[in-house]
Amino acid sequence: MSSRFLRDDLASFSPYSVTYSPDLIKLDANENPFELPDEVKEKIRSEFMKLPLRIYPDPTALKLRNSIASFLGIDGLDERHIAVGNGSDEILQYIFIAFLDRDDLVMYPNLSFEMFSVFSQVTGVKDVKLDLNELLEIDLSSITKAIYTYRPKLLLLCRPNNPTGWSMPKEDVIMLLKQSQKFDTLVVIDEAYGEFMEESLAYLVKDYDNLIVLKTFSKAFSLAGLRLGYAISNEEIIKDLMSIKLPYNVNSFSQMVGRIVLEYKDVILSKIRFIVSERERIYGRLVNLNKVKVFPSRANFLFFYCEEKDLLDKLLSYGIKIRRFEPKHHLLKDAYRVTVGKKEENDKFLNAMEEILS
C-alpha cells in the first residue's frame, strides 16, 4: 500500500521488478556469461589501492569520457559529445527531465525496453505506443506516419530491440532521423546490445542534431553489476544533460573501472563472436521444437513464444531461469526471452526444453 503523499497519477503504477537468483543458471537478464579476465581484475585491484576514496569523484568524469571517445574512434567526436551515468537508464531519466514538459508526447514501440514506459509514467508525460507487425518489427512507413500524426517531442527506439532482438535497418534509421527533424522530434536510439550486431550509429550524431545514442558497459563489457552507461550526442544536448544531472552521479571506482576495461577492450570483446555463434545455435535448436515460435535476433538473447503450460516453473525444476513476460497485451501472451549463456548452460537449457516439450 502506498503512502498518502504519493501522486494520484502514480497510485496504480507498477514498477519495473526483477528477482535476484544467483544460485540458478541465470538466463533471464541478458547478462554477459563471462566474468572479466583475471588480468583485468588484477589491474582493477591494483588501481583501487591508489584510489583516494576520501574525496568526491570528478563530477564531469572527464578521463572516462576521453577514454570512451577514443574507444569510439569517430572523427570529430570527443569528450564534449559524451555524458556518463549510472547505467544508460539514468541518462534516459535525465533525457525525460531535461527535454519533456508534462504536456509533451513520447513515442516508442509497444514491445520494447520497459523503462520507456516507466519513465513516461513517473514523469507524467503522454505516450503513444507503436504497433509491431507479425514479425515483431516496425515498418518505416508506420513510424513516419505516426510522427506526422502525433508530432512527438521524443521518439525512443532500441537497436537491437529489447526484448525481440530485431534491428531496424540503418537506411531506415537515417530516413527516420530526416523525417523527425521536420517536426523537431528528438530521437533516442538505445544501443545497449549494439556490440552483438557489431554496428553502431553513433557517428550519425555529427549529421543529425536531434539524435542521442545510448550505450552501456553492462552487456558486452560484463559490468552489469557496476552500473555504467553513456550518451553520445552533439555538444549542446550533452551540455543540457550535464547541467541537470546529479553532481557526483558516477563514483570514483566506476570511473576507474570504466577506463580500465576500455584499455583491455580487445580481450574482453573477443567473447562476442562466441556469444553470437551460440545465439545462432540456440535459435537453430529452438526453431525445430513443437509449441515454440522463436524470432531471429541480433542481440545476446532470443525472444520466443511457447504454449507449454507452466514452462517457467518446469525450467526452474532443472535449475534454469529465463524471462517470462506478464501478458500486459497480446504480444506478450506466452512470451519468453532467454539469454545466451556459456555453452554448458545453453546445452542444459536446450536439453531441458526438448525434454519438457517431448
Instruction: Find out whether the peptide bond into 37 is cis, omega within 30 degrees of 0.
Output: no
Alpha-carbon span 83 to 86, nearest angstrom:
11
Q: Write the DSSP assignment of 85-118 as a string of letters.
A: ESSHHHHHHHHHHHH--TT-EEEEESSS-HHHHH
Alpha-carbon span 215 to 221, nearest angstrom:
11
Contact indicator for 275, 33 with CB cutoff of 8 Å: yes
Centroid of chain to Cα 207: 24
Res 7: pLDDT: 85
Q: Which long-range contacts (CB under 8 A, 24 or more apart) does 194-197 make?
A: 194/159, 194/160, 195/219, 195/220, 195/269, 195/272, 196/160, 196/220, 196/272, 196/275, 196/276, 196/279, 196/298, 196/299, 196/300, 197/160, 197/167, 197/298, 197/299
CATH number of 38-267: 3.40.640.10
Res 22: pLDDT: 65
Res 18: pLDDT: 60
Res 17: pLDDT: 58
Res 19: pLDDT: 64
Of the candidates 198, 150, 155, the residue with the CA atom closest to the CA atom of residue 173: 155
Res 9: pLDDT: 79
Of the candidates 216, 209, 204, the residue with the CA atom closest to the CA atom of residue 239: 209
- Kindly give the parts of the chain with pLDDT less than 50: none
User: Looking at domain 8-30+271-357, which of 2.40.128.90, 3.40.1390.10, 3.40.50.300, 3.90.1150.10 is its CATH number?
Assistant: 3.90.1150.10
What are the pLDDT digits (tens) for 289-320?
Answer: 999 999 999 999 999 999 999 999 999 999 99
The owner of cell 516453473 is: 313
Q: Which residue ranges make up each domain of the chain?
A: 8-30+271-357, 38-267
Res 98: pLDDT: 97
Res 16: pLDDT: 60
What is the phi/psi pair of residue 187, to 5°?
Answer: -110, 125
